[in-house]
Structure 1
Amino acid sequence: MRHNFNFCDEQEEALMYLLKEDFMEFPIGDFPYDRNHSAMGEYHYINYPGYRGRWHDPVCNHTYNGQGASWTITEYDGRHYMEQQRIRNDKPHRTFPMLTSGDRFWKDYELEVKLRMFTTKWGNAGIGFCCQNSANLLVLVFEEGELRLEYRHKEQVEIIERAAFAYNCDDYYVMKASISGDHVICSVNGKAYFDVHTEYALQGGKAAITATIPTQFEYVNVTVTDETAAQIDAARKAYSDLCAEEQQKYPKMKLLKKIDLRNFGTGRQVRFGHLLGNGEYQIVLAQCQKRVNRDAYGTISCLTAIDLDGNVLWRYGEPTSNTEIGTISADMPMQIYDIDGDGYDEVITAKNFEIFILDGRNGKVKKHAKAPYSTAEEDGTIIGVPDKIYAFDRINPDGIRICNFRGLDKPRDILIKDRYCRVYALNDDLEVMWHYQSDKNTGHFPFAIDINGDGHDELLVGYNMLDCNGNRIWTMPVKEDHIDEIVPGMFVSGPHKGKKYFACVAGKEGFLISDWEGNLLKKDGIGHAQRVSTGNYCPDKPGYEMVVVNFWGHQGIIYFYDSEGNPVWEMENELNGNLLTPVNWIGNGRDFILLNADVEKGGLIDGNGVQVVKFPDDGHPTLCAEAINMYGDARDEIVTWDYNSMYIYTQDDSPELNVYEPVKYPDYNASNYRGEYSYPKGFMKELG
């Protein structure tokens, strides 16, 4: 068996290098990073250019905007150094900048790092090991005049051992951690300080350098015995073989359509519907522009409607080949829905401070009205806006949702909102029925559902529940941050059997589960919780499992929960843009989880975290992905796209008759901030 390791020097010939890093292969300059420090990676897969070597930066932070890179490569006296640049780690919540190397199969190694701190007044610096992900690891750090061995998990930090240590800003320190099973020995400059047994070491995992102060790292060495190297190789191969074995059980992806988007491409501002009333899907793509302050006031510049062969049906606005058009991390106000019941979907949208209902067949205006006037900005009660004042006299709609506040035979009401404070309920004549100004952040995409069985939708607006007339019924006991996504559900087993719930991801408040009276049943502090979905991911277990991913701070860690909201496993694929969409790929009642369109680490995973369906290596776009049932049978297709092209994949055994067809989030309420669900028919009616 061939190992991807290097042999150590002759005096250490019994050992092998997992990693031997002196940073000399890195060019002088910044380690690759998002120069905009934007939220695009919440639901776009973006690989920022530059040389990374064998390192991964798992930390992103919108408060870094305008502050450059977290890590930079410098030179002194012929040597290269990796330097950490951040001096704050408390916003938007506690975050530990780091670079990681290796994989979760590493174990029983010796990690040696040489570092120098440029300040000793605050913060910490050191090494990480047994790192299953960037928020689940052991660290050896200097902090507050001490050397500490800590275990970091999610937002908790447990100090295992500590010792006084008089470090300074001028000297270099060689830190070393030796791991063997649960046995950990930690030393500095050849002197052992900690000799402990801890179960946390048994998990094994990557190595890391970490600091919350400006710190210079000269080299990083990771060594193992030849026997351990073979065990690591074997574990990695076993997992690869398991994935390959599982992938043979299920249909592969077959390219069905390839569409040239020419000059009307966009990011995840795409809607699918039935504009022509012929039973086939058509697509509307929105190009967008930013006003005043980053993504706070995004506006649609052009809508283009196409069929599945890429033929342009109509256009509203002027398209552009400028790919900056569409790079926006917010919902745009548009939905596709037959709101007047004529058998053809309309396009409900907003532009230039007006609300429009467009004929889906030709894009002509059926109805339009001025957006509501903005109020309350003068008394200081408006929240969630830059500079604490709303920029315009009229509302710039941030998103649209179709609701049924009037209790009609079908939903015919339109909810619009500003960024984070106010919602407006309009009827199908675009008349304002009521509006609500929230004392808590509204989040991105309120959820409408009939929670009391009276035939009228109630509305969960962030942490507040409103009745069908916009009056607050209750509020969750949470004040900070906002809800990004909401999923309704019902416990089918356990102590809460029969109780209906909302599973919510709420930024730095983490993952929340509340009942339909606003009482919190579960709360897991996983950092900035970003996306959530629920589905039948483990058919051999009762109920519907939940999966969550975080973003700001330690991004891209996927957390899996059982049907009662108890943690089961967590994993990190070192990619952003993890969608977590439930996919009905095999049509037998079992859902898979769509991550993103990356060939190696994306694709579909099952409820055990095993990659079961891969994307073909065919040059497909990877920026955006979606699962939607578009062709042939009841199973989902996978759509991927970027600014230039769109690919549509189906199963290579399609079509299949008499396959399972779940109830999923309706097409007419598409959003970049909706929690996804997949339930059997009748389950949503039972919910409300």
Structure 2
Amino acid sequence: MNEQTEPNCDNELVLPWAGLMFRYQDLRHYYFFCLQNPAAEEKKIVLYRRADNDWHILAEEPFQVDTTKYYSLKAKLQGNRIYCYLDGSELFRATDYLYTQGKAGVRFNTDSRVKSINITMTKGEQHIFQSAKNKHEEEVDAIREEYPKPVLWKKLDFSHLWPFGCRFVNLRSAEFKDLLLLGREQLVAADLEGEVLWQKEGRISIHNIISRPDGKVEIPALSGKEIIIFDGANGQTLKAAPAPSTGKPRRRPSFDIKTVNLSDTSWSIILKLGAGKDLWAYDEDLKLIWTTSVKPDYGHSNSVIFYDVDGDGSKEILAGSTLLSPAGETIWQVEGYEEILNYKSRGCAWHVDSCVMGDFADDEEVDPVAFLSASSCGVWVVDALTGKVRNIHYVGHAQGTSVGNFRPDTAGLEVLVGTRWGNYGILNLFSGRGERLLTFEPDNISQGGPPANWTGDGRDLILLATSPQALGLWDGWGRKVVTFPVEDLPEKTTDYYRNWAGCLNLYGDSRDEVIFCAQGKIHIFTPE
């Protein structure tokens, strides 16, 4: 193994190491028996217990690593006792009660060679493991019987227009749910029978639509260097204005467009960069109202959101970690935001990737609450009225966020946050008050998924479609309770970077449908 490593977004210990992981819960919770070989510090062999950013040393010994030879590391587990061996001889032992079971593997963050890996169990241990596995599967199978089975309802084929993103919207009126296909160089509107209603050429981005009191539908959009409002019924341009200059020499500025009621009488357009600090607000006639900048930066599209925090009928704007008034004035910057900025020096992200805000706790003394997925700085739980931090959870690179009634037996709603860079696939479930309820890892790809109202009785499930093992609807206890028939899915449904999956009430009852789109084919499932 080498003596060098690089700063990373996984943890704050920048040490070159290689060794065994065992009783692995997820990428941030496990035991780690390793050779530690820093160039300028004491070289040693260490047994760690890892829990997020806490690397607790259970045992250690000085050890000079010869980088030209192989070493045999062995960990023997008996209940809460851990026995560690080096080249066949016991080195040390430790007692710990935190992790009682889990996976096994290897981990290294420097140039290393692994000759072989062996995992063995006694017959008694195999029996205990298989019995526990069978019991768990029987319990999950029984729970699955409580949920309706998915039935393929519609199949649409737009493969000749692929690739594109999907949006289901009311284009013609509130009575009709239609489909927008956002391609690389065109926007196509179609109905749920697959008939094209209209189409426009060019790269066009939208966020949501505006339903007028007279029943007409308008679509605010960005096309090239223009802000445009389309007629939802026929795609005709109703209004247009130049998009703002970013001062950067880009052929096509990267903006996200959002619409919001900044007053109780009219709607406005908020423009943000793909990631950055600047915001622009326009009225419904596309006249610039105000512009401002925030610090730290916001990240992806869902890092700028809206909520009526003070209950006055107008929505405030949460842009990353800054709350703005409808007039664009700063109400607060989150307490301790400098910590987010400091992650830049480690080569990690220092912005807020997504956020949610609302009355999640169902408690007047706590609500409203904001959850900031602050990239490498974890999840920040914030008093939405003051910007004061209530809790910080260092879960890794927090990115995707969704809200639902995932634990219907508890008050309020729950917030699901998924991680990415350095810790792909960990899903963290929080109560509306900000306590972490659960961490689970369906695969090492997902960053979470939308809530699905599959039963119509107030319970929400989590839709995942990032891999074959994750594909399905999951409950708030980390169990996959609804599976989809593979033969009815579009080809490459679980190809993460070439698919789309979502939940929406299309059929018209009280339950959501689940939509899968891959290779231009859209398959819609409804509960039986």
Provide TM-score, normalisation by structure 2: 0.89
Determine the structure 1 residue equivalent to 2:428.
Answer: 559
In structure 2, the partner of 1:94 is 11
Pick aligned residue for 1:626 from 494, 499, 502: 502
Q: 1:579 and 1:167, CA in 2 relative to 1: closer, same or farther beyond 3 A?
A: closer
CA distance in 2, matches of 1:616, 1:594: 15
Which residue of 1 is the match for residue 347 of structure 2?
none
> 1:125 and 2:18 equivalent?
yes
Q: CA deviation at 1:545?
A: 2.4
> Retained in 2: the 8 A contact 1:154–1:525?
yes
Counterpart contact for 1:404–1:412, Cα < 8 Å: yes
Map of 2:193 onto structure 1 = 309
Match of 1:582 in 2: 451
Which of 187, 192, 204 is 2:90 aligned to?
192
CA spacing shift, 1:169–1:598, aligned 2, 3 Å: closer
Q: How far apart, CA to CA, are the structure 2 residues paired with 1:262 and 1:440?
A: 41
Correspondence for 2:176? 280
Task: Give the direction of change, closer, same or farther, for the CA distance of 1:86–1:271 in structure 2 (3 Å limit).
Answer: farther
Aligned AA (1:412): W
1:478 and 2:337 matched:
yes
Among 633, 638, 657, the alignment partner of 2:514 is: 638
What is the deviation of 1:335?
2.9
Q: Secondary structure at the match of 1:231?
A: helix
Q: Does 1:507 pair with 2:403?
A: no
Q: Determine helix, strand or coil for the equivalent of 2:72.
A: strand
Instruction: Name the CA distance, whole Å, in 2 between partners of 1:89 and 1:556.
Output: 22
Q: Residue 498 of structure 1: CA displacement?
A: 4.0
Other-structure match for 1:521: 390
The SS at the match of 1:438 is: strand
Higher relative contact order structure (alpha carbons within 8 Å, sequence separation ≥ 6): 1
Return the alpha-carbon distance in structure 2 between the equivalents of residues 353 and 602 of structure 1. Answer: 39
Q: Tell me, what secondary structure is at the counterpart of 2:129?
A: helix
In structure 1, distance between residues paired with 2:236 and 2:360: 46
Aligned-partner residue type, residue 506 of structure 1: A
Could you tell which deviates more after superposition, 154-163 or 271-280? 271-280
Q: Report the Cα distance in structure 1 between the residues aligned to 2:114 and 2:468, rounded to whole angstroms.
A: 33
Spell out the pairing of 1:436-455 with structure 2 (5 A cutoff): 436-444=292-300, 445=302, 446-455=304-313
Residue 136 and residue 283 in structure 1: after superposition, are their counterparts in 2 closer, same or farther (change >3 A)? same
Deviation at 1:642, TM superposition (A): 1.6
User: SS of 1:218's equivalent?
Assistant: coil
Distance 2:250 2:110 in 1: 41
What are the Cα deviations for residues 276-318 of structure 1, in whole angstroms up to 9, with x where unaligned? Answer: 2261211111123xxxxxxxxxxxx211111112111111116
Q: Shift of residue 575 of structure 1?
A: 4.3
> Which consecutive residues of structure 2, in runs of 5 or more, have no partner in the other structure?
341-349, 494-498
8 Å Cα contact 1:462/1:482 also seen in 2 = yes
CA deviation map 1:384-438 (0-9, x unaligned)? xxxxxx2339x82521111122x133x5211111131211101111111111122
- Give the Cα separation in 2 of the matches to 1:201 and 1:165: 27
Q: Please tell me whether the aligned partners of residues 306 and 316 of structure 2 are also in contact (alpha carbons under 8 angstroms).
A: yes
In 2: Cα distance, 1:86 partner to 1:239 partner: 43
| 2:345 is equivalent to residue 461 of structure 1 | no
Match of 1:279, SS state, is coil
In structure 2, the CA distance between the partners of 1:563 and 1:492, relative to structure 1 (3 Å rule), is closer
Check if 1:541 corresponds to 2:399: no
- Which residue is equivalent to 1:596? 465
* Alignment-mate amino acid for residue 172 of structure 2: L
* Cα pair 1:86 1:212 within 8 Å, conserved: no
1:425 maps to: 281
Aligned to 2:72: 174
Q: Secondary structure at the match of 1:435?
A: strand
For 1:606 and 1:86, the matched residues in 2 are separated by 44
C-alpha distance in structure 1 between counterparts of 2:161 and 2:446, whole Å: 22
1:533-568 per-residue CA deviation (whole Å, 9 max, x = no partner) reads 232222222222222211111110111223432222
Q: Unmatched 5+ residue regions in structure 1?
A: 1-83, 97-120, 289-300, 320-331, 376-389, 653-688
Q: Could you tell me which residue of structure 2 aligns to residue 415 of structure 1?
A: 270
Return the offset for 1:190. 1.2
Tell me if 1:141 matches 2:37: no
| Identical amino acids, percent of aligned pairs | 27
Deviation at 1:629, TM superposition (A): 1.0
- C-alpha contact (below 8 Å) 1:620/1:640 kept by paired residues: yes
Quick one: structure 1 residues 483 and 200, their matched pair in 2 at CA, closer, same or farther if it must change by over 3 Å? same
2:345 is matched with which residue?
none
Contact 1:545 1:562 (C-alpha < 8 Å) held by counterparts: yes
Secondary structure of the residue aligned to 1:168 is: coil
Match of 1:211 among 108, 111, 114: 108
**For 1:335 and 1:341, how far apart are their aligned partners in 2?**
20
Partner of 1:263, secondary structure, is helix
Matches within 5 A, 1:346-365: 346-365=218-237
Query: Once the two structures are superposed, what CA deviation does each residue of 1:187-240 show, in whole Å capped at 9, x if it has no partner?
Result: 1101211111111342x1111111111000010000001121122122222222
State the secondary structure of the residue aligned to 1:230: helix
Equivalents in 2 of 1:86, 1:337: separation in Å? Answer: 56
Structure-2 separation of matches of 1:401 and 1:561: 27
Q: How far apart are residue 497 of structure 1 and its match? A: 3.6
> Equivalents in 2 of 1:229, 1:596: separation in Å?
32
Partner of 2:344: none
Whole-Å separation in 1 of the counterparts to 2:396 and 2:444: 17
Are residues 212 and 418 of structure 1, via their aligned partners in 2, closer, same or farther at CA, if it must alter by over 3 Å? same
Q: Which amino acid aligns with 1:528?
A: H
